[in-house]
Structure 1
Amino acid sequence: MGNINPSLLHVGSTLGAVFMALMVIFIRMKASARPVTIRKIWIPPLGMSTGFAMFVVPEVRFPWWWAVAAFLVGWFIFAYPLIRSTRFEEREGLIYAQRSKSFAFILLGLLLVRTLLHEFINRYVSVPQSGGLFFILAFGMILHWRLFMYKHYTGMLPAEPQIPQPRV
């Protein structure tokens, strides 16, 4: 991996995670003032999917079953608090995400759990590998959450008006 000190990578990744969590909280609070759209629901996981390019680097790779386990932990465990705190409301014919008082605390709690898990996992794998594992965990979490949002959002959309067909 070159001459980069692994402890600097660890500190950098932790600070990066804290920064990203704070940015998500800030962006999420501002987003509640604007209507939700399908595009706004799907852009984060689509943009995040470009991160899979990190696995081109051999130092980041690990066994497939690790990736499946990380994805499932993100999907079933880490996504749950985000799903529980996400609600939509209709105002003036548009759908908005409701502000959740618990959202910031949930994100910070997930960050704390992630950091503690990171400390434990770093004993057994390299820093680049743990970064890849936590990326897959986060992707599973975001994908499940956004799929829930999409299903909930489309369920709130008004049905297309039925135009009566003339009888012949």
Structure 2
Amino acid sequence: MGSINPSLLHIGSTVGAVFMALMVIFIRLKASARPVTIRKIWIPPLGMSTGFAMFVVPEVRFPWWWAVLAFLIGWFVFAYPLIRTTTFEQRDGEIYAQRSKSFAFILLGLLLVRTLLHEFINRYISVPQSGGLFFILAFGMILHWRFFMYKRYNVLVPPQTQLPEPRV
């Protein structure tokens, strides 16, 4: 079985990241026209969690502290702009994500920073390892953002069922 040229793998991962960012922008812009639900909040990180299967392959593995650091950077640094630009509004008894004019620019900015970091990190570790690190970083970012959305959503959702007052 032949090996893949690292430069082709690098180009492919960059093109894939750009494509995914554009898809996220498109999906998020369309999503603001539909009500937010708990399911819609949690499906993306649950679906993304299947990516942890990549660590079955030995070439993708790296020390645990690298993973913890990447997750924390995603959680505290990269999630912050997404959290700051995510707001909800109630219309017709349902909750909608408000469209932010800066959301697309923030995603493109995060992509640019990610690509520049990827270029720097690829000098020291393999492409599969850097892919794994950036996956963990992105997972930390998405998970924190979605926790924030869930908490904000629960503040706005009226209680579905109230227990009746006990009769005395």
Specify if TM > 0.5: yes
Q: What are the within-5 Å matches in structure 2 for residues 10-159 of structure 1?
A: 10-159=10-159
State the distance in 2 between where 1:14 and 1:89 align.
35
State the distance in 1 between where 2:157 and 2:42 align.
17
Q: Deviations over 1:17-71 (max 9, x none)?
A: 0000000000000000000000000000000000000000000000000000000
Q: TM-score, normalised by structure 1?
A: 0.97
State the distance in 2 between where 1:111 and 1:68 align.
21
Residue equivalent to 1:5: 5
Q: How many residues align?
A: 167
Amino acid at match of 1:156: L
Secondary structure of 1:90's counterpart equals strand
**Structure 1 residue 163 displacement after superposition:** 2.6
**Structure 1 residue 165 displacement after superposition:** 1.9
CA RMSD, 1 decimal: 1.1
State the distance in 1 between where 2:80 and 2:120 align.
22
Amino acid at match of 1:166: R
Residue equivalent to 1:163: 164
State the distance in 1 between where 2:97 and 2:140 align.
21
State the distance in 2 between where 1:62 and 1:24 align.
28
**Structure 1 residue 162 displacement after superposition:** 5.1
**Structure 1 residue 164 displacement after superposition:** 2.4
Identity over aligned pairs, percent: 83
Structure 1 runs, 4 residues or longer, greater than 3 Å off: none
Q: Deviations over 1:105-135 (max 9, x none)?
A: 0000000000000000001000000000000
Amino acid at match of 2:12: G
Moved more, 26-35 or 153-162: 153-162
Amino acid at match of 2:3: N
Q: TM-score, normalised by structure 2?
A: 0.97
Q: Deviations over 1:2-22 (max 9, x none)?
A: 420001011000000000000
1:9–1:79 CA distance, 2 compared to 1 (3 A): same
Moved more, 1-10 or 108-117: 1-10
Gaps of 5+ in 2: none
State the distance in 2 between where 1:54 and 1:42 align.
21
**Structure 1 residue 161 displacement after superposition:** 3.8
State the distance in 1 between where 2:46 and 2:69 align.
21
Q: Deviations over 1:132-154 (max 9, x none)?
A: 00000000000000000000001
1:150–1:68 CA distance, 2 compared to 1 (3 A): same
